[in-house]
Amino acid sequence: MRITCPYCGNRSLDEFLYHGDAEPQRPDATADNAMDAFVSYAFERTNPPGQHHELWYHEAGCHAWLVVTRHVSTHAISSVDIARDLAKARTPNTAGRA
């Protein structure tokens, strides 16, 4: 398998580390249902047989975390995005400084 890092280009699988499903988002720890939400976040997976958005780390390369969209039955990769960019777009900037 080869992954095209948006920064480094097309590289072999062994430069990357896998983390898993990119769908679960870390919940709000202060919410009322925080425990339920965290259990689901940390332990439950859709694990579909088709398209899968997943987190990879370009460990032997640029150290970027990537969100790879891959068909897990064919291993065909349809897109690779920069995790931080997606994450920024996903969450309003509340976590950082006021």
Amino acid identity, position 77: I
Taking CB under 5 A as the rule, does residue 85 contact Zn ion? no
Q: Which stretch binds Zn ion (CB under 5 A): 20-28, 42-50, 53-61, 70-78?
A: 53-61
Residue from 22, 38, 25 nearest 72 by CA: 22
Compute the distance between CA of residue 30 and CA of residue 25 in angstroms, rounded to an integer: 15
13 φ, ψ to 5°? -45, -40
- Chain residues in the site for other proteins (CB under 8 A): 1-2, 7-9, 11-15, 17-21, 26-27, 29-30, 34-35, 38-49, 52, 54-55, 57, 59-65, 70, 72-76, 82-84, 87-88, 91, 93-97
